[in-house]
């Protein structure tokens, strides 16, 4: 865990119920993320789609590609399309994370490195997956860096990850 990354996260820390920081220019930031699309598609080799309609979340946009075939998901009554690659942009500090939970097409570290090589010089700050689910140092064990900067909020304003950033365990290890 990088001390510099944790310091950066703490610098942009906020109350868990705040969707966007004061002064966040949503339209401008969406336009900037939209402009990244063609290069991110070339880097990943995937037909990424931009989700720019995110609300009630501490992130505001995500370039994402899903497995084409829905698969069973333990605990759900319907099949789901797992994420091959997602590049999620926080509303705080120009942070982003790269994730995937597809067992059919696991996210390659070389893809993460290539995305980082592209976004880093543009002023974006990568939050690595191993840090996302680490407990927040001052807000307790139920608040993580993921819930603070990259998740949806529920109706009560509490972080709600919706399972998107966790890679599912093999079927035989999952419990309902």
User: Is the distance from CB of 157 to CB of 28 less than 8 angstroms?
Assistant: no
User: Is the distance from CB of 107 to CB of 84 less than 8 angstroms?
Assistant: yes
Each residue of 51-100: pLDDT tens digit?
988 877 778 899 999 998 888 888 877 888 889 999 999 988 898 999 99
Q: What is the pTM of this model?
A: 0.78
Q: Kind of pairing, strands 83-90 and 59-66?
A: antiparallel
Mean pLDDT for the stretch of residues 144-150: 70
CB atoms under 10 Å from CB of 59, counted, come to: 22
């Amino acid at each position: 865990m990088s001390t510099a990354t944790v310091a950066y996260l703490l610098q942009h820390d906020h109350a868990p119920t705040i969707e966007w920081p004061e002064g966040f220019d949503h339209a401008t930031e969406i336009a900037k993320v939209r402009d990244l699309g063609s290069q991110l598609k070339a880097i990943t080799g995937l037909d990424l789609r931009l989700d720019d309609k995110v609300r009630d979340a501490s992130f505001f946009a995500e370039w994402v590609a899903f497995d084409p075939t829905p698969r069973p998901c333990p605990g759900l009554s319907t099949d789901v399309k797992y994420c091959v690659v997602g590049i999620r942009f926080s509303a705080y500090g120009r942070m982003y994370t790269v994730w995937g939970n597809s067992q059919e097409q696991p996210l390659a570290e070389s893809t993460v490195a290539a995305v980082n090589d592209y976004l880093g010089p543009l002023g974006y700050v990568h939050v690595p997956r191993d840090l996302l689910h680490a407990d927040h140092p001052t807000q307790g064990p139920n608040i993580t860096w993921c819930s603070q900067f990259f998740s949806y909020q529920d109706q009560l304003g509490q972080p709600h990850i919706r399972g998107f950033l966790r890679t599912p365990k093999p079927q035989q290890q999952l419990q309902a």
